[in-house]
Amino acid sequence: MYDPTTWPTVGAFFEAIDRFLEASPLINGPVSIPLSAVLALLLLWGLLRLVRLRAASGEAQSVETAPDEDIQDAEITEETTGVMEPEPTAVHPEPKLEAVEAPAELVAEDQPSDEEIEAELEAVADEVFEEVLPEEIVVEPEPEPEPKPAPKLSLFARLRKGLTKTAGGLVGRIDQLVRGRKIDDEFFEELEEILFTADLGPTTAEKLLTHLQERVREENIEDAVMIRDILQEEIAKILRPHEAPLDVESSKPFIVMVVGVNGVGKTTTIGKIAKKFADEGKRVIFGAADTFRAAADEQLQVWADRAGAEIIKQKPGADPAAVAYDTVQAAVNREVDLAIIDTAGRLHTKHNLMEELKKIKRVMSKLDAAAPHEVLLVLDANTGQNAIQQAKSFHEALGLTGLILTKLDGTAKGGCIVGICDELEVPVRYIGIGEQMDDLRPFIADDFVQALFEAAKG
Ligand SMILES: Nc1nc2c(ncn2[C@@H]2O[C@H](COP(=O)(O)OP(=O)(O)O)[C@@H](O)[C@H]2O)c(=O)[nH]1
Ligand SMILES: [Mg+2]
């Protein structure tokens, strides 16, 4: 059955069994069990142990190395069959991992139990959550919805936002001045400095200062804070008579000539005005008399398309007066309601520009003695005090009949309009509060002043 010389340990084991069995009452006693049956049972027990040992050693190996599932399968087949089987087809496309020597702590006998590892992981997770959660993770955010266009601010809110800069310069400084102050000579000196360095212009600053001093005297005002309210009232008084939106009913066609320095927003404003009147059912025609800039007529064409207006244009470099003439003639022939002539905007200090504009105006009056019925000056609200000088120059040359103040949605210095209104007897037709078609509003003095003063409160 076995050879004790070649397999001494196993041989000794079976000899011991033989001796045990011979003495055993199971064999020699009253109940006799065949020796072969006992041996078969022992063999079975031995085999079961072997299988369990192998299983345990397999687990230990999987901790020591991290082989791919496929590699493990291949090794087992090799060992158990002794035949080299072909590499099984890889299920995963990823490259196979190289089995690596596990670091000492992984194979060490005193490995922490599963419970210990779990507890450790929970503790670390808690720590991470405590530190990171409040600031960085908070709650897993809902997937971002499609960004909606920002809701349009009310006119007042937009004005207020835009006028912050002026407020910082004028109303903001007034606020600082009046806080906890007595009204005395020193107070008026400081007030004078603030008014003269604001965008109001010296004439208007002087006028406002005089009015404030008079009212303090007449009304026995002692509280400096009252100065703020009085100033607001006085500025509103200057602006109120200048509220007068454009009225085009007095003539058909009503001819408007739009002037202003480069980039103030003439062309954009023309588009906005056209849209407004087109919406009221009026037929509008544009005259592209800015022949100085090559792309000017294309820009006007875009606005014509948007507003549904017709357009008269010639080649770049053409005589702008001729374009204006053609436009008025077309407006008469086509019986349109409103003709708006766009013009070039070189610096107002350039004599040629003013002469060119005068010529355009003169030529139009040849067709209709009253034309243009409106000469609109467009002013950029960011221009500051220089806007007053611009307005004066255009007024002297052309006799302005209306003003438009644009870009009041930006960081505007709307204060200049106070000086312009005070010095020039010209109404403010509209204000521009953005680049879009509907960003044109009638000028409402009280809204404007309120926004100016409210903006300073932040
Ligand atoms: N933010 C803002 N931009 C404006 C406004 N009006 C015009 N603009 C912008 O000012 C720039 C110059 O305008 P444009 O009409 O070409 O000026 P022009 O040279 O006087 O004809 C353009 O980018 C316009 O979009 C306004 O009320 N608000
Ligand atoms: Mg233009």
- pLDDT tens-digit map of 356-387: 999 999 999 999 999 999 999 999 988 877 88
How many Å from the N-terminal Cα to the C-terminal Cα in the chain?
106
Of residues 29 and 223, the one with the higher pLDDT is 223
Q: What pLDDT score was predicted for residue 97?
A: 39
C-alpha span between 103 and 219 (Å, rounded) = 92
What pLDDT score was predicted for residue 78? 36
Ligand nearest to the CA of 438: 1
The SS3 call for residue 322 is helix
- CA 406 – ligand 1 centroid, Å: 8
Nearest ligand 1 atom to the CA of 268 is 15
Note the Cα 439 to chain centre separation in Å: 19
* Mean pLDDT score across all residues of the chain: 77
| 301 Cβ neighbours under 8 A, 6+ residues apart | 288, 311, 313
Helices and strands (DSSP H and E) totals, the chain: 19, 8
Regarding predicted confidence, which is higher, 2 or 334? 334
Please, is 266 exposed, middle or buried when counting C-beta atoms within 10 Å of its C-beta (0-12, 13-18, 19+)? Answer: buried
Positive or negative: CA dihedral 48, 50, 54, 57: positive
Distance separating alpha carbons of residues 403 and 388, to the nearest angstrom: 12
Quickly tell me which residue has 């504009």 as its tokens: 357
Helices (H), 219-265: 226-239
437 or 154, which is more confident: 437
DSSP conformational letter for 100: -
Q: Is the pLDDT of residue 146 over 50?
A: no
Query: Is it the case that residue 64 has pLDDT exceeding 90?
Result: no
**Of all protein residues, whose CA lies closest to atom 7 belonging to ligand 1?**
265
Kindly report, residue by residue over 240-264, the tens digit of the pLDDT: 999 999 999 999 999 999 999 999 9
Q: How confident is the model at residue 432 (pLDDT cuts 50, 70, 90)?
A: very high
Evaluate if residue 169 carries a pLDDT over 60.
yes
Task: Report pLDDT for 23.
Answer: 61
Q: Which two tokens stand for residue 158?
A: 């937009």
Nearest ligand 1 atom to alpha carbon 433: 27
Task: Give burial (CB, 10 Å; 0-12/13-18/19+) of 456.
Answer: buried
Q: What would the two tokens of residue 227 be?
A: 């100065």
Backbone angles phi, psi at 389, to 5 degrees: -65, -45
Give the model's pLDDT for residue 102: 41
Tell me what the mean pLDDT of segment 162-176 comes to. 70
Question: Which atom belonging to ligand 1 lies closest to the Cα atom of 432?
Answer: 27
Distance from C-alpha of 67 to C-alpha of 26, rounded to nearest angstrom: 50
Name the one residue in this structure whose structure tokens are 């800069």: 165
Q: Pick the atom of ligand 1 nearest to 262's CA.
A: 19
CA angle 324, 327, 330 (to 5 degrees): 155
- Confidence tier at 122 by pLDDT (50, 70, 90): low
Helices 226-239 & 416-423, crossing angle to 10 degrees?
A: 50
Percent helix, strand and coil across the chain, each rounded to 5?
55, 10, 35
Q: Which of 290, 282, 280 is nearest to 344 (CA)?
A: 290
Q: Per-residue confidence at 45, pLDDT binned at 50, 70, 90?
A: confident
Instruction: Name the amino acid, one letter, at 12.
Output: A
Kindly tell me if the per-residue pLDDT of 70 is higher than 90.
Answer: no
Contact residues for 172 (Cβ-Cβ < 8 A; gap 6+): 456
| Cα(434) to centroid(ligand 1), Å | 8
Strand pairing report for 310-312 and 338-343: unpaired
Predicted pLDDT of residue 439: 93
How far CA 403 is from CA of 149, 211, 319, 415, in Å, comes to 31, 26, 26, 15
- pTM over 0.85? The answer is no
The predicted pLDDT at position 292 comes to 84
CA–centroid distance, residue 291 to ligand 2 (Å): 10
pLDDT band at 68; cut points 50, 70, 90: very low
By residue count, the chain amounts to 458
Two structure tokens written together for 422: 């005070």
Distance (Å, whole) CA 338 – CA 253: 5
Residue 52: helix, strand or coil by DSSP? helix
**Which residue did the predictor score with more confidence, 225 or 5?**
225
Q: Which residue, by CA, sits nearest to atom 14 of ligand 1? A: 265
- Ligand 1 centroid, distance to 268 Cα (angstroms): 6
- Separation of alpha carbons 347 and 270, rounded Å: 20
How many whole angstroms from 249 Cα to the centroid of ligand 2?
26
Flag the least confident range among 96-100, 242-246, 363-367, 445-449.
Answer: 96-100
**Which 3 state secondary structure label does DSSP give 384?**
coil
Rounded Cα–Cα distance for residues 172 and 239 (Å): 20
Higher-confidence residue of 341 and 102: namely 341
**Rg, C-alpha atoms of the chain:** 48
Which ligand sits closest to the CA of 381? 1
User: Is residue 230 scored above 50 in pLDDT?
Assistant: yes
| Among the bound ligands, the one closest to the CA of 300 | 2
Q: What is the pLDDT at residue 382?
A: 85
Q: How far, in Å, is the centroid of ligand 1 from the Cα of 450?
A: 25
Ligand 1 site residues (CB inside 6 A) read 260, 262-268, 345, 406-407, 409-410, 432-435, 439
Q: Please work out, in degrees rounded to the nearest 5, the angle formed at the alpha carbon of residue 418 by the alpha carbons of 415 and 423.
A: 135
Residue 138, pLDDT above cutoff 90: no
Query: C-alpha dihedral over 442, 444, 450, 452, to 10 degrees?
Result: 50
Q: Tell how far the Cα of 393 is from the centroid of ligand 2, in angstroms.
A: 19
- Nearest bound ligand to the CA of residue 162: 1
State the DSSP string of 323-347.
HHHHHHHHHHHTT-SEEEEEE----
Does 232 or 294 have the greater pLDDT score? 232
What number is the average pLDDT over the span 161-190? Answer: 80
